[in-house]
Amino acid sequence: MSTNMVRNNPAIMASIQKNILEHISLMAQEQVQLEYREQMQEMMLMQQQAAMNPMVQQQLQMLTNQIEARKSVLIAEMTEEFMKEEKKITSQFDNDPLLKLKSREVDLRAMENERKKDYDKSQNDLAKARLMQSGDNFDEKLEQNEDLAKLRAGVSLAKSGVQQAEVMIDD
């Protein structure tokens, strides 16, 4: 955590912290297994009997709650200890003005990247809207052309009908 590479890369710092918290959880689980070894063996026997006896189910639930409570306390204690150690490490470089400046620079770069990403997304959305609108306009134009073609056909038929009527009248 005290290396420059980790301090200047929030993603790496988050990964390290996540890994540490997973280890804390595993350590607490191991500690609980050591402290409650006999009770856990009893629990395995109780699980087989729990289906038949509701009292055993209740005892099993109470024992499970007791173990989980102890595990929670252990995790809280270990996490607090981790936070103190992390504070010691981070306070070493909190007072360095160059590191503060570098941190600010990294933050500004991240904000700029976020702004660019938002801008690109808005441009993509705008392009999609334009494509959809041009597609709608094209569909409307096709409908208008069909309507005009039908009108022309109707006028043409009407003209030919009038001409045939004149021929019939002349005959």
**How confident is the model over 22-70, as pLDDT tens digits?**
999 999 999 999 999 988 888 888 887 777 888 888 888 898 999 999 9
Domain shared by 65 and 13, yes or no: yes
What is the separation, in whole angstroms, between the first and last Cα of the chain?
A: 108
CA neighbor of 32 nearest in space, from 81, 80, 73, 76: 73
User: Which burial class, exposed, middle or buried, applies to 150 when counting CB atoms under 10 A from its CB (0-12, 13-18, 19+)?
Assistant: exposed
Domain shared by 88 and 123, yes or no: no
Domain shared by 89 and 8, yes or no: yes
Provide the pLDDT confidence category of residue 116 given band limits of 50, 70 and 90.
very high
| Residues 63 and 42 sit within 8 Å (Cβ to Cβ) | yes
Domain shared by 91 and 20, yes or no: yes
Domain shared by 13 and 55, yes or no: yes
Provide the pLDDT confidence category of residue 95 given band limits of 50, 70 and 90.
low
